[in-house]
Amino acid sequence: MEQDEAKKRIEQLTDVINRYNHAYYTLSKPEISDQAYDLLLKELELLEKSFPALAHPNSPARRVGGEVTREFRQVTHRVPMLSLSNTYSKEEVEEWEARIHKLIGDQMEYVCELKFDGVAIGLTYQQGLLYQAVTRGDGVQGDDVTINIRTIHNIPLQLGGVGYPDFLEIRGEVFMPRVSFRQLNKTRLEEGEEPFANPRNAASGSLKMLDSAEVAKRRLDCFLYYLPGTDLPFKTHYESLQAAKSWGFPISAYIVRCSSIHEIFDFIREVDEVRKTLPFDIDGVVIKVNDLAQQEELGQTAKSPRWAIAYKFKAEQAETILKSVDFQVGRTGTVTPVANLQPVLLAGTVVKRATLHNADIMAALDIRLGDTIYVEKGGEIIPKITGVKLEARPSGTFPVSFPTVCPECNTPLVRNEGESAWYCPNHSGCPPQIKGKLEHFISRRAMNIETLGEGKIGMLYDSNLVRNAADLYGLQPGDLLGLEKVYRDPDTGKERKVSFQAKTVENILSGIQLSRSVPFDRLLFALGIRFVGETVARKLAFHFHSIDALMQADTEELTEVEEVGDKIANSVTEYFSQPEYLDLIHRLKEAGLNVSMSSETVVKKGTVLEGKSIVVSGVFQHHSREDLKRMIEEYGGKNTGSISLRTSFVLAGENMGHEKKKKAESLGIPLLSETEFLKLLHED
């Protein structure tokens, strides 16, 4: 076949397969048999393989995945992805509606939609073609997960219909249908992995997998529900969604327009009655002002739009009997009481365990073995006990006592002043702490070694192959082949053996190898330093640029970093003072992991700010605070969160904090305006 002929056939196949996908996955009206569809898709795949220059990034052949990425690039949202304010009562919704009327007037219409329990996503299209897909992230920046989004069949790769703009953004929710969730957990158990706690966690974990072919197997789904800041010729939110539907977007059928609070709650009651029968999870109803001009007039707070609110269904509650209490040790040594219950059906699942949180809550509940307790399950992974039915308490019972020594290693427990948790200080010898640190190290947001998991880590630890993160990088095929684990099948109750076969071993070692390229800030988070979460790890990495510089920093230098206070600074210095962790860092360096910022990450445009520590405070006319902080780093400077004698100058905007200004003046620290700063960079 000649190239021109191949190009024409590829275009024909692309159009017809896209049409069949839309009919099947969005409209639920199949137009072709599975066998005939597979033949068309196979023909397209063969043509694109034979003529790779003709293959388009948005080809329907990409639905099966196959692209592998090393990491997900951070993207700044064109319009921030805000969170909705939540409410749990009719009274709070009435108060919200009253505020809307007071600000806008009497002529109001609302749109009520389902609140999907998944992962927020923003999709952008250029000239009708899918260009980019970005997660919510922190609302300002998210991860580019486009290669994985292409595997979701009901998300159009190319828009149909007429009237869509050249540039279009639409937002919604990626979720895992219940049937896909059950199948995934069954597979994970068969492979010796821990099951996901709920479909939301499964969807989130799937969307951040590095291999899009694996994502495709998860059978994710999507609904879209909002077109932000787009120049569209519509007066209402409802009209914009109907147009989006005509362009091929998956828009939920559960949408109604309401003109009163009574109609809103009629819809809420209807949804509450049917939500258990839906093929996907929801946790409430979203109420939006329909008129787009009124939305703009109402505006937003720093975190949420004023023109929308989420009514969340109250957590379901059940009564059951407390049989016993276990005490679990986490990766930081925190001891958490977990109640073992007489099995009870709650929110569609059988609940056998529930968290008691800590010793103070146990004491407040005055919980005793044999008690009839109230247990709830809302969005929590583990259900929680909310109360005791005192009138049903058996006689002669005594409160459950909290242990004084670690239930795993018998080390005396300690409790820091001002904290509610008791914890085991034996961090280097307590088995669940060691395994917990390893599980944290391989987790998606850290090193993202997705070919490992809690079950496999347990097998490696129990076989004395791994005792810390550095041991992972010395594993050989012979160490892993044939390792066995026994698990109980949840359906049959029978015990089954799972062993590492050649393919599993290959996948594990490949995943470990890929993690060597994970950026420094995520490695820093993966170390599991107490109080150092993702955001703080990123700020420390961008401030110090290398593990060596961070290790040499004292508490004063650390507290200059934005969001780092005395508690975090002391935790970091304590971590790097311990010989076992210094040895771990040394071994990770030898294993070739990224222990400094790469030149691609720290993009330098100049050196005018080299060696300067700068505090950004206030609101600016031409740039956001994040943009200005980025400029500081690009020109060699360091962003710091607090003013000290080390501060070179303060980049001061309107409404600068009074205390910061007072301290800067008292220390003689210069205040630069945005204009003066840009002149300094020659950026004006």
The per-residue pLDDT for range 71-82, each reduced to its tens digit, is 678 888 888 888
Instruction: Please give the pLDDT value at position 393.
Output: 93
Helix, strand, coil fractions of the chain, as percent rounded to 5: 40, 20, 40
Residue type, 285: V
Neighbours of 132 (CB within 10 A): 16
Residue 10 vs residues 31, 44, 63: alpha-carbon distances, Å: 20, 6, 15
Q: Is the pLDDT of residue 473 over 90?
A: yes
CATH architecture of the domain 431-515 equals: Orthogonal Bundle (1.10)
Instruction: Please give the pLDDT value at position 317.
Output: 84
Locus of tokens 């998860």? 218
Query: Phi/psi of residue 132, each to 5°?
Result: -155, 150
Cα Rg of the chain, angstroms: 28
In Å, how far from its chain's centre is CA 180? 19
Q: Is 85 helix (H, G, I), strand (E, B) or coil?
A: coil
Neighbours of 579 (CB within 10 A): 7
Quick check: 635 and 663 in contact, CB under 8 A? no
Instruction: Please give the pLDDT value at position 417.
Output: 81
Considering Cα of 219, then 220, then 223, then 229, what sign does the dihedral take?
Answer: negative
As a whole number of angstroms, the distance between CA 526 and CA 234 comes to 47
The CATH code for residues 3-64 is 1.10.287.610
**Confidence class for position 599, pLDDT limits 50, 70, 90:** low
Least reliable range by pLDDT among 161-165, 238-242, 315-319: 315-319
Query: Phi/psi of residue 79, each to 5°?
Result: -125, 125
As a whole number of angstroms, the distance between CA 357 and CA 422 comes to 11
Q: Is the pLDDT of residue 664 over 70?
A: yes
As a whole number of angstroms, the distance between CA 17 and CA 148 comes to 19
As a whole number of angstroms, the distance between CA 513 and CA 247 comes to 42
As a whole number of angstroms, the distance between CA 577 and CA 388 comes to 46
CATH architecture of the domain 319-392 equals: Beta Barrel (2.40)
In CATH, what class is 520-590? Answer: mainly alpha
In Å, how far from its chain's centre is CA 553? 31
As a whole number of angstroms, the distance between CA 337 and CA 617 comes to 43
Which helix H or strand E contains 96, and what residues bound it? Answer: helix 90-104
Neighbours of 9 (CB within 10 A): 16
pLDDT per position as a tens digit, 560-575? 887 788 989 999 999 9
As a whole number of angstroms, the distance between CA 521 and CA 61 comes to 35
Neighbours of 477 (CB within 10 A): 12
Locus of tokens 């290959």? 506
The CATH code for residues 76-312 is 3.30.470.30
**Confidence class for position 684, pLDDT limits 50, 70, 90:** very low
Instruction: Please give the pLDDT value at position 139.
Output: 82
Considering Cα of 177, then 179, then 180, then 184, what sign does the dihedral take?
Answer: positive
Q: Is the pLDDT of residue 381 over 60?
A: no
pLDDT per position as a tens digit, 408-465? 999 999 998 878 899 999 988 999 999 999 999 999 889 989 889 888 898 999 999 9
**Confidence class for position 65, pLDDT limits 50, 70, 90:** low
Instruction: Please give the pLDDT value at position 400.
Output: 94
C-alpha torsion 437→442→444→450, nearest 10:
-150
Q: Is 179 helix (H, G, I), strand (E, B) or coil?
A: helix
Quick check: 606 and 634 in contact, CB under 8 A? yes
Locus of tokens 């021109």? 4
As a whole number of angstroms, the distance between CA 334 and CA 403 comes to 12
Residue type, 559: T
Query: Which one of 29, 102, 115, 638 is the catalytic residue?
Result: 115
Which helix H or strand E contains 94, and what residues bound it? Answer: helix 90-104
> Any catalytic annotation for residue 115?
yes
Instruction: Please give the pLDDT value at position 329.
Output: 95
Q: Where are the CATH 1.10.150.20 domain residues in the chain? A: 431-515, 520-590
Report pTM.
0.58
Instruction: Please give the pLDDT value at position 40.
Output: 82
Residue type, 599: S
Residue type, 620: F
> DSSP class of residue 229?
S
Quick one: tokens of 263? 């109609």
Instruction: Please give the pLDDT value at position 377.
Output: 75
Quick one: tokens of 231? 């120049």
As a whole number of angstroms, the distance between CA 514 and CA 447 comes to 9
> DSSP class of residue 313?
P
Quick one: tokens of 86? 């939540």
As a whole number of angstroms, the distance between CA 679 and CA 136 comes to 34
Residue 474 vs residues 478, 496, 520, 588: alpha-carbon distances, Å: 11, 29, 20, 10
Please give the residue that has the higher pLDDT: either 479 or 607. Answer: 479
Mean pLDDT, the chain, integer: 87
Q: Where are the CATH 2.40.50.140 domain residues in the chain? A: 319-392
Q: Is the pLDDT of residue 320 over 90?
A: yes
Q: Where are the CATH 1.10.287.610 domain residues in the chain? A: 3-64
- Closest Cα to residue 110, out of 251, 311, 302? 311
Q: Is the pLDDT of residue 323 over 50?
A: yes
Instruction: Please give the pLDDT value at position 20.
Output: 78
For the segment 246-259, the average pLDDT, to the nearest whole number, is: 94
Please give the residue that has the higher pLDDT: either 376 or 438. Answer: 438
As a whole number of angstroms, the distance between CA 271 and CA 253 comes to 12
The CATH code for residues 613-681 is 3.40.50.10190
- Closest Cα to residue 458, out of 479, 434, 441, 478? 434
Residue type, 322: L
β-pairing, 221-226 vs 167-175, is antiparallel
Cβ neighbors of 507 (< 8 A, separation 6 or more) are: 451
Residue 105 vs residues 99, 109, 297, 302, 602: alpha-carbon distances, Å: 10, 11, 12, 24, 51
Instruction: Please give the pLDDT value at position 480.
Output: 92
Residue type, 570: N
Quick check: 530 and 427 in contact, CB under 8 A? no
Q: In 347-467, where do the E strands start and end?
A: 349-355, 372-377, 384-388
Residue 144 vs residues 19, 55, 141, 199, 354: alpha-carbon distances, Å: 26, 21, 10, 21, 36
Cβ neighbors of 176 (< 8 A, separation 6 or more) are: 118, 184, 199, 200, 202, 203, 206, 218, 219, 220, 221, 280
Vertex 215, ends 209 and 217: CA angle to 5°? 145
As a whole number of angstroms, the distance between CA 76 and CA 519 comes to 19
Quick one: tokens of 449? 């070694």
pLDDT > 70: what percent of the chain? 93
Please give the residue that has the higher pLDDT: either 170 or 377. Answer: 170
pLDDT per position as a tens digit, 180-235? 998 888 887 776 667 777 888 889 888 888 778 888 888 999 999 999 876 778 99
- Closest Cα to residue 443, out of 388, 382, 525? 525
Cβ neighbors of 510 (< 8 A, separation 6 or more) are: 451
Q: Is the pLDDT of residue 601 over 80?
A: no
Residue 334 vs residues 24, 327, 426, 431: alpha-carbon distances, Å: 49, 10, 11, 13
Neighbours of 394 (CB within 10 A): 11
Q: Where are the CATH 3.40.50.10190 domain residues in the chain? A: 613-681
Query: Phi/psi of residue 654, each to 5°?
Result: -65, 150
Quick one: tokens of 248? 């091929």
Least reliable range by pLDDT among 23-27, 512-516, 578-582: 23-27
For the segment 93-110, the average pLDDT, to the nearest whole number, is: 88
